[in-house]
Amino acid sequence: MSPDGQDGVLLHTEGHTGYVTLNRPKALNALSHTMVRRVDEALAAWEDDPAVETVLIRGAGERGLCAGGDIRSIYEDARAGGSASADFWRDEYRLNVRIARYRKPYVALMDGIVMGGGVGVSAHGSVRIVTERSRVAMPETGIGFVPDVGGTHLLTRAPGRLGTHLALTGNAVGAADALLCGLADHFVPAARLGALTADLARSPVTEVLVRHTTEAPPGELAERREWIDHCYAADTVEEIVDRLLASGVTAAKEAADTLAAKSPTALKVTLAALRSAEQLGTLERVLEQEYRVSCAALSAPDLAEGIRAQVIDKDRTPHWAPATLAEVTDDDVARFFALLGERELRLAGPASPEEVPW
């Protein structure tokens, strides 16, 4: 094991709490494979340690908890036709399950930017805290990818079709909207996070929350429910776009313009994944599906092209293939859900219906 902090994770215990700090602030704490393994090892050890009653995860620096996985590495792997990304996702999704089923309070400080893999290490936890600086998103369609880390599971549980809206557009939401969508539980002003973190070392979570939580500033999604629920209830992405354009609502037209810039294939696969996730039920089954989709995306052209345009060359002009929604066939979408045989990710389901175990 690397010296503490050199692999991007700082670990320590104080009082009754184990603290995990994602420590790559220059990369907005983006997750590497080593970081995922380190966090998983720590959680496994602390879960069986009677001296540790609570676990807290946070990000180093002032910009956010975590911007997601290391997509530059995924880009290189996709171009090389390698398997490193599939190996990373296998361990990352297992970590997501561990967090969701953790037997002790798992407190996630979702301050600042929380995107993609950052959602995976926070929004499955039992105590999810947002601040006025929080920007929570699953922005995968913008790089030719599909929401993963259990994102399709989380977003299908949002009220109405809010989750579909967020999954397809990739839009980031603030504290109130994260609370509304079920991605977070509590609002704490950023200035109080230091005191909350210190208090957890000596007091139970429930007592600490009472001291520091307050009401979040107003959000935007609640008043947009009518057109969002109507437009995103459509059966196809094409019809969703048509409804958005026909609604006469400025924000809906802006959403249609946003979708026009995304990967057509990623949009159609994302909608199919969300609709399937509604039926699959458990996080484990959904993650198994997401693993198939992620592995298929690795060999599809849009993922490497999307990362190139947004992160590598930063020209913001991806050349999607196919270039239009009409050109993406049902067979193209179905390929992303094909079984992987011996490479399947197999996750045990929960022993009982999902519930906070403490």
Tokens of 229: 């629920």
- Distance CA(50)–CA(19), nearest Å, equals 15
Does residue 140 carry a catalytic annotation? yes
Catalytic residue selected from 18, 64, 117, 120 = 117
Element holding 115 (H helix, E strand) = strand 113-115
Does residue 117 carry a catalytic annotation? yes
- The CA-atom distances, in angstroms, between 162 and each of 154, 166, 328 are 11, 6, 24
- Distance CA(224)–CA(125), nearest Å, equals 27
**Residue carrying structure tokens 């050109």:** 327
Element holding 109 (H helix, E strand) = strand 106-110
- Distance CA(354)–CA(294), nearest Å, equals 25
Residue 5 φ/ψ, nearest 5 degrees: 95, -25
Q: Which of 320, 292, 296, 295 is nearest to 306 (CA)?
A: 320
- The CA-atom distances, in angstroms, between 291 and each of 145, 183, 294, 350 are 12, 21, 5, 18
Catalytic residue selected from 140, 185, 284, 305 = 140
State the helix-helix crossing angle for 250-260 and 162-169, rounded to 10 degrees: 40
Does residue 148 carry a catalytic annotation? yes
Catalytic residue selected from 70, 92, 111, 148 = 148
Tokens of 126: 């039992």
Does residue 160 carry a catalytic annotation? no
Q: Coil, strand or helix: which one is 138?
A: coil
The set of catalytic residues is 69, 117, 140, 148
